[in-house]
Amino acid sequence: MTVLAVSRPFWPLFLHVLGAMTLWGAVLAAIVLAAARLPRATLAALLVAVPAWALTLGGGFWIESDEGLGNSSATWLTLGHNVLEPGVVVLLLAIGCAYWWARSGKPAAGRAAVTLTVLYLVLLTVALLAMSGKWS
């Protein structure tokens, strides 16, 4: 097992997984903070998710390039792309709703932020399961 780990490119995989774990954790933290009715903290947690998203995407593309997976049609890779790339729109909408909630204090804004954040966490969890299980 050690030989296999050493033969793989370390930094791209490390950065991809670090970004993905940070992204998932920041989104989960935003949900918990929103449930506690802390709009500014929810916004801060979602803002942490943006650089984590960029790190996840950048590390993923780096791995794809190093491993020659550009033309691969593997389900786990396609699913990862389909969740991560358009998922940033859901993340940005959640940030916008959290900002609206922090500025106005309107409960509707908080509900919208929570709904979008939960949706994004579910999508990230499906991608995480697909990546860890390498669905064929």
Structure tokens at 120: 């994004």
Q: Are 119 and 125 in contact (CB under 8 A)?
A: no
Overall residue count recorded for the chain in this entry: 136
Q: What is the pLDDT of residues 52-99, one digit of tens each?
A: 999 999 998 898 888 887 777 778 888 888 999 999 999 999 999 999
* pTM given for the model: 0.88
Number of separate domains in the chain: 1
Q: Residue 82's domain spans which residues?
A: 2-133
DSSP tag of 136? -
Angle, CA 78 vertex, CA 73 and CA 82 arms, to 5°:
155
Whole-angstrom Cα distance, residue 93 to residue 103? 15
Q: What is the pLDDT of residues 3-28, one digit of tens each?
A: 555 566 788 989 999 999 999 999 99
Whole-angstrom Cα distance, residue 114 to residue 108? 10
